[in-house]
Chain A
Amino acid sequence: MSTPRPHDLLWGLPLSALPDDTPQWALQVVACGQPVVVRRAACADGWVAVGVRGQSRDQRLGTQMRLGDIQRLQSPEALRGCAPSPWPALQALASAAPVLDTCGLAWGPTGGVGYQLATGINVLHLASDLDLVLRAPHPLTRAKALELLDILDCAPCRIDVQLETPAGAVALREWAGCARRVLLKSPLGARLVSDPWAALECAA
């Protein structure tokens, strides 16, 4: 089993691992065997930070899972296939796929789209966005980011791309803009950095 990365979906969290004050909706989600989503947060060895996802936006519960409890892991990259769909977010996925496939970087859907494709549970609605992760182990120029963003912005719904760098994640939209510093989400929290690929800056 590969090491879980943010946005991966994990199956196998036992009900008994949830704290006593867990809300009813989250107990139900876990009892039904639905997956949890890996969060970007530091954890003790042998554990991974995960989130339980409910139906509404405010139904999100952060918890931790033992690596040993993972029965199945699905990464966003495994969820790229997409059948014709009435949902704009899934149509956007179909329109973005050829563009992203030619950029030479690994990518895949996250958020509601990833969750629905992985579980078959309908969480999307007409106003759903498409969230994507794009793995950028090496620096992507801001000009290249803007070029990519301009193409993706022609999709049938809003597309939010997180660039995953070795140091954390930055929004493609922000990296494509002109802000001197951009928000990097790292396992140690969020910080403003001028270079999202500079690991030293993130270790502060």
Chain B
Amino acid sequence: METLTFQFAAAEPGRGRTVVGCVSSGDLEVLIEPGTAGSLQIQVVTSVNGSGARWAQLFQRLFEGRQWPAVNIDIHDFGATPGVVRLRLEQGFEEIAP
């Protein structure tokens, strides 16, 4: 088990709260809720040790250089592939989209 945190620039706080995904091998659970203006915060608790660099790379590609709403994202990861992580985040943002 490993806990990782990440932070990116964001716009105004997002609205709504959602939980998507599944507590299951190869999957992850994603909780998204409104955050503090200007900041997108991510906390990852993962069953895979030593995966910090992979998460950092994935989030940089997703969240850097684009205007995201300020949200707090809590991730419980059970060994999901980067493709599955991207899908779950996409699903979560879809759920809170106005």
Contact = CB atoms under 8 A, between A and B. Distances in A.
Contact of B81 (A158, A171, A190): A190
B27 A183 contact: yes
B50 A173 contact: no
A189 B83 contact: yes
Contact of B27 (A158, A171, A179, A192): A171
Interface stretch (B4-12, B17-25, B31-39, B58-66): B17-25
- The binding surface of chain B is classed by DSSP as loop
A57 B24 contact: no
Given A181-B91, A183-B88, A192-B87, A111 B49 contact: no
Chain A CB within 10 Å — which of B24, B51, B83, B90 has the most?
Answer: B24
Interface string A168-195: 0001011001010101010001111000
A183 B81 contact: no
On chain A, which size bracket covers the interface?
10 to 19
A191 B22 contact: no
Nearest to B26: A185
Given A58-B48, A189-B83, A131 B88 contact: no
B25 A129 contact: yes
A171 B10 CA distance: 33
B32 to A, nearest CB: 14
A171 B22 contact: yes
Contacts of A111: 25
Nearest to A160: B24
A132 to B, nearest CB: 11
Given A171-B27, A173-B22, A57 B87 contact: no
Interface string B40-66: 000000011111000000000000000
Given A179-B20, A183-B27, A190-B84, 20 more contacts: A57-B48, A57-B49, A58-B48, A58-B49, A160-B25, A171-B27, A173-B24, A174-B24, A174-B27, A177-B22, A179-B91, A183-B84, A183-B87, A189-B83, A190-B81, A190-B83, A190-B87, A192-B87, A192-B90, A192-B91
Interface of A: 57-58, 111, 129, 131, 158, 160, 171, 173-174, 177, 179, 181, 183, 185, 189-192
